[in-house]
Amino acid sequence: MVAPNPHCSNQWRNNIIIISNAISQHTHFPSHTKMAISAYTSLQLSSSFRGDVLPTSLSSISPLSGGSNSRNGSVVFAKRLFGLEEAMRIQREKDLQDKKSVKKNPLKRGKVSPRLPVPDHIHKPPYAGSNKLPELSSDYQIHDSEGIAHMRAAGELAARVRDYAGTLVRPSVTTDEIDKAVHQMIIDAGAYPSPLGYGGFPKSVCTSVNECMCHGIPDSRQLQDGDIINIDVTVYLNGYHGDTSKTYLCGNVSNTMKRLVKVTQECLEKGIAVCKDGASFKRIGKIISEHAEKNNYGVVDRFVGHGVGTVFHSEPIIYHHRNKHPGEMVEGLTFTIEPILTMGSIDCITWGDNWTAVTDDGSPAAQFEHTILITKTGAEILTK
């Protein structure tokens, strides 16, 4: 079953929740008004998942009180609900204006420099040297104590490289310069930059700016004041991959963009919080979708998390949107959670390089990612 599209019924549903919650906190509204709002909210929430046709005018709902003053009460109630409808209309217009205000000049491809060399002594993954995209492994990567130690080391290095790359983010720096710095740091640590050569990917890190959802190829474009950039780092150390990403702010970023970044990070944290031995994978998508929709953001369903370990990408596939896919987590399993949220469309356009994926309406996107290890009681973040 396909999850609900967050850009159709969800924004209407979220606005109802926001306004209803706000009203419930104000004591000057009579109890019967609050009850009617609650009933209307429940109706709309259930309807939005089924596609039922319900009245969109709040004033068509009768007050839930009787007595001799019901006629006058109805007039007052209708007036108050008309004001609620107006407040919701204003909120929707404000949300739309906010999205328009953060639109920057469309991202354009810069010049991509030649691929950087890797010394012979560095241990390389099997796909290095081939432009063929490896198939997704069907095996869950469950580790013994030795494997867990290797995964911790790979995750710790990936996190250090990611954090270092983040210190380079500032206006006028090119993503190619970030790539070169990341490449050198990984090589100096005796590891291999996992993206390099994976399915022909030409660089050592993914740098996704503004409307780029993911898989941005570093190039000569300079970062601009107000940009956001996701830096996706994966290292291959002693035969194990550690995979992580974070969205950084470049210079003076608008509050609207900051909020997108903040909520995306919160979605990752909430997704991790439901993980433990025996938990179903679908809980991840459910809680991420709930938090994103509550904040009027869409969750991209095209890109997923994945198992990671000695193999870069494997089962289980981690869906970040609502889903009914079966499967449960087991102790010792490692995988990534990496939600992408957008301010507008969740659909993408892939550039001619076959990697760069941008939102089809040019709206900003943000992403965060961790590699986690499932334990009996929860999840250990290996790339913290």
Instruction: Please give the pLDDT value at position 78.
Output: 52
Q: Which two tokens stand for residue 212?
A: 């780029």
Instruction: Please give the pLDDT value at position 333.
Output: 98
Annotated binding-site residue? 338: yes
Q: What is the mean pLDDT of each run of 10 residues along the chain (384 residues)?
A: 30 44 46 44 34 36 43 53 61 59 82 98 96 96 98 98 98 98 98 98 98 98 98 98 98 98 98 98 98 98 98 98 97 98 98 97 98 98 98
Residue 89 sits in the same domain as residue 162: no
Q: Model's pTM, two decimal places?
A: 0.76
- Whether 360 is covered by a domain: the verdict is yes
Q: Give the count of beta carbons closer than 10 Å to the beta carbon of residue 179.
A: 27
Residue 64 sits in the same domain as residue 166: no
Phi and psi at 152, nearest 5°, equal: -65, -40
Residue 169 sits in the same domain as residue 280: yes
Residue 75 sits in the same domain as residue 168: no
Annotated binding-site residue? 369: yes
Phi and psi at 337, nearest 5°, equal: -120, 130
- Whether 116 is covered by a domain: the verdict is no
Residue 96 sits in the same domain as residue 231: no
Which of residues 68, 101, 134 is at a domain's end?
101
Q: Which two tokens stand for residue 134?
A: 């490896």
Q: What 3-state DSSP class applies to 315?
A: strand
Residue 203 sits in the same domain as residue 83: no
Q: Give the count of beta carbons closer than 10 Å to the beta carbon of residue 258.
A: 13
Which of residues 33, 68, 101 is at a domain's end?
101
Q: What 3-state DSSP class applies to 321?
A: coil
Three-state DSSP string of 119-176: CCCCCCCCCCCCCCCCCCECCCCECCHHHHHHHHHHHHHHHHHHHHHHHCCCCCCEHH
Instruction: Please give the pLDDT value at position 94.
Output: 64
Q: Give the count of beta carbons closer than 10 Å to the beta carbon of residue 236.
A: 26
Decide: 313 and 241 in contact? Cβ < 8 Å.
Answer: no
Residue 342 sits in the same domain as residue 223: yes
Q: Which CA distances in Å does 190 have to 145, 160, 162, 206, 239?
A: 22, 14, 16, 20, 11
Residue 311 sits in the same domain as residue 200: yes
Annotated binding-site residue? 7: no
Residue 233 sits in the same domain as residue 289: yes
CA–CA distance, 20 with 317 (Å, rounded to integer): 36
Which of residues 101, 127, 156 is at a domain's end?
101
Nearest to 295 by CA among 356, 353, 243, 339: 339
What single-letter amino acid sits at 62?
S
Annotated binding-site residue? 241: no
CA–CA distance, 160 with 178 (Å, rounded to integer): 14
Name the strand (E) or helix (H) holding 22.
helix 9-24
Number of domains within the chain: 2
Instruction: Please give the pLDDT value at position 56.
Output: 37
Residue 363 belongs to a domain with what CATH number?
3.90.230.10
Residue 151 sits in the same domain as residue 84: no
Residue 295 sits in the same domain as residue 197: yes
- Whether 23 is covered by a domain: the verdict is yes
Annotated binding-site residue? 269: no
Nearest to 241 by CA among 343, 323, 325, 137: 137
Angle (CA) 263-39-53 rounded to 5° is: 85
Q: Give the count of beta carbons closer than 10 Å to the beta carbon of residue 357.
A: 23
- Whether 321 is covered by a domain: the verdict is yes
- Which residue segment(s) compose the domain that 193 sits in? 145-381
CA-derived radius of gyration, the chain: 24
Residue 326 sits in the same domain as residue 204: yes
Length of the chain: 384
Residue 117 preceded by cis peptide, ω within 30: no
